Chains A and B, each alone.
Chain A
Amino acid sequence: MLRLGFSLISGSLFGAGLMLSGMTDTAKVQGFLDIFGAWDPSLAFVMGGALLPMAIAWRLTQGRAPAAGGSFPAPPQKQLDRRLFLGAVLFGTGWGLAGFCPGPAMASLSYNGWQGVLFLAAMICGMMAAPGLSRHLDRRAANA
């Protein structure tokens, strides 16, 4: 129950933050990425505002355990691979195309009309296809 409570509170804060910050406004997101056009840098402050509490949270994990039990994530892996970059480039292209990333696509579901439902459905289909695509990429990398 504790885990569900933390999840619900976390999701609520995340959803409210996405709505308030302007991340669910595709025109603002595309304006942020449109540096050769009418560049709108304001969304850079979203990342600035989010990094501070998160950096403090990572500090607080030292010498402690999660409140609901279990353990904290292992230190991040260091090696960079093709999959990381290929996935990031595919994601960034879709993000630029429609102006939605996964969080805002969920947060705006109640007020984004049919466009939001269609985007989310396509996104979930992409997620379902990803493990197969990843295995295919790994096989090709192994054969190369």
Chain B
Amino acid sequence: MEADWIRALAGGGLIGLGGAVYLLGNGRIMGASGILGGLADRSGWGTAAERLAFIAGVILMPLLIGLAAGSTPDTHATGNAAVLIIAGLLVGAGTRIGSGCTSGHGVCGISRLSLRSISATLAFMLAGILTLAVLRRLLGVI
């Protein structure tokens, strides 16, 4: 348990450093849903190269670490395809309609005390907590 929060703190520090490099280097907010979503809906094709470079880093660094360490962490992802599809659609549409996700609102927005980001983060955390409360604790389906 103790190792868990140390890893969480250290990992969080790396995430924050990533956001700092993106902001101080490129002058942009490091939001995973914004960077990928701009490619998905073509609104960000003018800056496609730097978006792709960011995504390449996100995908390749864990791959390299996994190869070097000889093991990768278990994601414990559900094997229920319907749940994965519904969740993916909700996360994709929701983050774009709400202009951000855990990184854009939760890290970059809250760290500059944006009222919108603080509100959005409270809303998506509450929705996640309710989802677990109803579907896991009440109905026992996930």
- A residues at B contact (CB < 8 Å): 2-28, 30, 33-37, 40, 42-58, 60-61, 64-73, 76-80, 83-103, 105-113, 115-116, 118-131, 133-134, 137
- Tell me how many residues of B have a C-beta within 8 Å of chain A: 109
- Chain B residue contacts of A12, Cβ below 8 A: 18, 57-58, 60-61
Minimum CB–CB distance for B96 against chain A, Å: 3
Query: Is A102's CB under 8 angstroms from B18's CB?
Result: no
A27 CA to B73 CA in the complex, in Å? 12
- Chain B residue contacts of A102, Cβ below 8 A: 32-33, 36, 91-92, 95, 101-103
Nearest-neighbor residue (CB-CB) of B85 within chain A = A122
Query: Is B57's CB under 8 angstroms from A7's CB?
Result: yes
Nearest-neighbor residue (CB-CB) of B1 within chain A = A42
- Total A-B pairs, Cβ < 8 A: 495
- B residues at A contact (CB < 8 Å): 1, 4-5, 7-30, 32-33, 36-37, 40-41, 43, 49-51, 53-63, 65-66, 72-79, 81, 83-99, 101-103, 105-112, 114-117, 119-121, 123-133, 135-137, 142
Query: Is B88's CB under 8 angstroms from A125's CB?
Result: yes
Rank and list the top 9 A-B pairs by shortest CB-CB distance, nearest first: A87-B98, A126-B92, A21-B11, A49-B12, A11-B57, A122-B88, A92-B127, A94-B90, A17-B14
Query: Is A89's CB under 8 angstroms from B124's CB?
Result: yes
What does DSSP make chain B's interface, helix, strand, loop or mixed?
Answer: helix
Partner of A88, one of B21, B23, B98: B98
A113 CA to B127 CA in the complex, in Å? 27
- Chain B residue contacts of A129, Cβ below 8 A: 89, 92-93
A25 and B12 contact, Cβ closer than 8 Å, known pairs A54-B107, A76-B116: no
Query: Is A91's CB under 8 angstroms from B127's CB?
Result: yes
- Chain B residue contacts of A94, Cβ below 8 A: 86-92, 94
Minimum CB–CB distance for B22 against chain A, Å: 4
